């Protein structure tokens, strides 16, 4: 969201679909006005919204589509990779994501001119290595042609070490996806065999037509259970937890600081914030004893003994 604000644009928030945790197409339709220029959607935790409907909507209103695919590298919708539906897409190679280069990521675009602009923006607005570098140099002969800055920009260049790590992990991405999906199935199967646990939690299902590359295991918690206490117990029992992205982002202090607060109630985002979380999903096959430890941790965390640990 912050690149939108930093570019002088105004973000308009849209509620999510409770079943997929992704942007609600029906809510999106309500938010489109004459001032709307683009749709920026997040593919949450390997899942997606109904992209056929979203693309139709974007074409109808002539909107730019930016896909935040940082949590969903390798997922396919209707046999097409997430990140290839829109005009732009972003990916993250942070440590916990589908592949890792330690930090950094990549931006993709379908348009060659947009590619040239992005290439310049990532390096201070530099003209170096652009296809029109010579043309720019000829227009600015009074400057050293090796150091011409003709656009605004940032310093977002990847190091060669990070790029090498990411490139090598791309070769194993399919294997990582299969193993993560297998681990998820093993955990869900074991949980469903346990009545004490299965009656209190349920798992997010992939969207129709989706082949997922799961980032983690999103979990819906029974409304009767205090999520904060339950997650604290899980952590105490050796299972690390995370909110879905950052919870309902409207509640973040930076929203008020930058005067982006809205009085609108985002019912589904609030529900997910209050009753959902996710746990990690490794890309090496889980052994039975690890899964059993996870089950024991869930059982212990569900005990109501005065909410003590």
What's the confidence (pLDDT) of residue 246?
87
What's the confidence (pLDDT) of residue 305?
63
173-302 belongs to CATH 3.90.1150.10:
yes
Give the pairing of strands 80-81 and 38-42: unpaired
What's the CATH class of domain 2-170? alpha beta
Measured CA to CA, the distance from residue 196 to residue 176 in angstroms comes to 31
- Given a cut of 50, the residues of the chain with pLDDT beneath it are 306-307, 309
What's the confidence (pLDDT) of residue 90?
96
Q: What are the angstrom distances between the C-alpha of 143 and each of 123, 136, 147, 195? A: 18, 10, 7, 73
Do 2-170 and 173-302 fold alike per CATH? no
Alpha-carbon torsion (98, 282, 183, 206), positive or negative: negative
Measured CA to CA, the distance from residue 194 to residue 161 in angstroms comes to 45
Which residues 6+ apart lie within 8 Å of 84 measured at CB? 108
Measured CA to CA, the distance from residue 299 to residue 276 in angstroms comes to 17
Looking up tokens 């002969």 gives 141
The domain limits of the chain are: 2-170, 173-302
Residue 43 near residue 67 (C-beta atoms within 8 A): yes
Residue 294 near residue 235 (C-beta atoms within 8 A): no
């Amino acid at each position: 969201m912050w690149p939108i604000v930093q570019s002088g644009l105004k973000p308009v928030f849209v509620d999510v679909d409770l079943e997929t945790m992704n942007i609600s197409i029906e809510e999106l339709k309500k938010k489109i006005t004459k001032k709307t220029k683009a749709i920026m959607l997040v593919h949450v935790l390997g899942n997606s919204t109904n992209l056929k409907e979203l693309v139709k909507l974007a074409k109808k209103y002539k909107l730019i589509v930016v896909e935040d695919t940082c949590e969903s590298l390798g997922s396919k919708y209707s046999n097409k990779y997430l990140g290839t539906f829109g005009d732009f897409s972003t990916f993250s190679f942070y440590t916990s994501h589908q592949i890792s280069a330690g930090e950094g990521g990549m931006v993709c675009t379908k348009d060659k001119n947009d590619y040239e602009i992005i290439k310049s923006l990532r390096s201070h607005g530099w003209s170096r290595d652009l296809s029109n570098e010579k043309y720019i140099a000829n227009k600015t002969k009074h400057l050293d042609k090796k150091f011409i800055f003709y656009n605004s920009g940032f310093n977002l260049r990847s190091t060669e070490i990070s790029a090498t790590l990411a490139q090598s992990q791309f070769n194993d991405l399919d294997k990582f996806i299969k193993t993560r999906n297998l681990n998820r199935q093993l955990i869900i199967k074991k949980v469903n065999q346990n009545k004490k646990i299965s009656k209190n939690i349920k798992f997010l299902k992939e969207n129709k037509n989706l082949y997922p590359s799961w980032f983690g295991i999103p979990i819906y918690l029974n409304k009767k259970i205090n999520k904060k206490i339950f997650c604290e117990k899980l952590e105490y029992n050796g299972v690390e937890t995370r909110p879905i992205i950052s919870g309902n982002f409207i509640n973040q202090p930076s929203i008020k600081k930058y005067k982006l607060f809205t009085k609108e109630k985002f019912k589904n985002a609030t529900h997910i914030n209050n009753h959902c979380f996710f746990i990690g999903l490794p890309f090496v096959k889980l052994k039975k004893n690890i899964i059993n430890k996870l089950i024991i941790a869930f059982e212990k965390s569900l005990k109501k003994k005065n909410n003590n640990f």
